[in-house]
Amino acid sequence: MSNSNKWSSGVHSRSGDILTYNLHGNCYVNLTNRCTLKCNFCPKFNKIWDVQGYNLKLCADPSVDDIVAAIGDPTRYNEVVFCGLGEPTMRLSALLEVAEAIPEQIRVRLNTDGLGNLVQGMDITPELAGKVDAISVSLNAQSEDVYNRHCRPPLTGTYPALLDFIECAKQYIDDITLTAIDGLEGVDINACREIADDYGVKFRPRELDKVG
C-alpha cells in the first residue's frame, strides 16, 4: 500500500488530527498522546510522530463523539484497538465510553503499558470487564532494572505495579498478551516469555515501531 493510501485510510478531525487509523483490517483509536512513561525507544520522544505512515500527533485529546464518528461502522473491522502514541488508560472514562459504543460481536482490544491501576490509584480492571475483550500489555523487560533503563518511569514502583496489573486483569479479561520489543539492549525475550507463562497468559515479541 502506498503512503498516500495509508493516509487516506485514517480519519482526521477538523484540526487535521488522526483520530482513527486502519492497519491489518483493524481500526486503531488514537485516544491521547499523554503517557505514563518516557520510553527511550518511543518515536515521540525522538520527535517522530509517524507510525507506519500515520502522523499520530494530536493537537488535543479528541472527544468521545468524535472518536465514535471516526470509527464509523465498526462491523467493517476485525477489531477496534485502543493504541496511539499515548497511554489509553490515561483517559479511562473516554476509553470506556467508546468501548461501550462498539457492538458486542466486534472484538475490542486495549494496548496498554499496564500502569492504569498505579496512575488512577485504584484497580481499573473490573471497569474493563465486558467492554474490552483482549489486552496487550507492554511488559518490555524481564526485570525492573532493564525496564527502568528503557521506559524511564517518572513514578517509583512502576514495574511491580505493572506485574500486579496483569494479575488483576486476569480475573476479568480472558485474552491477555504480554509483549516486549525484540532486539532492545538487555531485553531477554525468552525470560519475558517465561514471565507470561508464569502468569498463564500469552506472549508476543514485537518489532520496534511496528503497531500490532
Residues that bind ligand SF4 in the complex, under the rule CB under 6 A: 35, 37-39, 42, 44, 85-87, 113
Cβ proximity to ligand SF4: between 22 and 89 the closer is 89
Minimum CB distance to ligand SF4, residue 86 (Å): 6
Cell reading at 124: 481499573
Identify which of 203, 205, 185 has the alpha carbon closest to the alpha carbon of residue 195. 203
Cβ proximity to ligand SF4: between 38 and 76 the closer is 38
With CB atoms as reference, the residue minimizing the distance to ligand SF4 is 42
Minimum CB distance to ligand SF4, residue 113 (Å): 4
Cβ proximity to ligand SF4: between 50 and 100 the closer is 50
Contact 36, 87 (CB under 8 A): yes
Minimum CB distance to ligand SF4, residue 76 (Å): 26
Minimum CB distance to ligand SF4, residue 184 (Å): 11
What number of residues does the chain have?
212
Cβ proximity to ligand SF4: between 8 and 40 the closer is 40
CA distance 168 to 181: 23
- Residue given cell 479528541 in the structure block: 62
Residue by residue, DSSP assigns 28-60 as EE---S--S---TT-GGGGT--EETTEE---SS
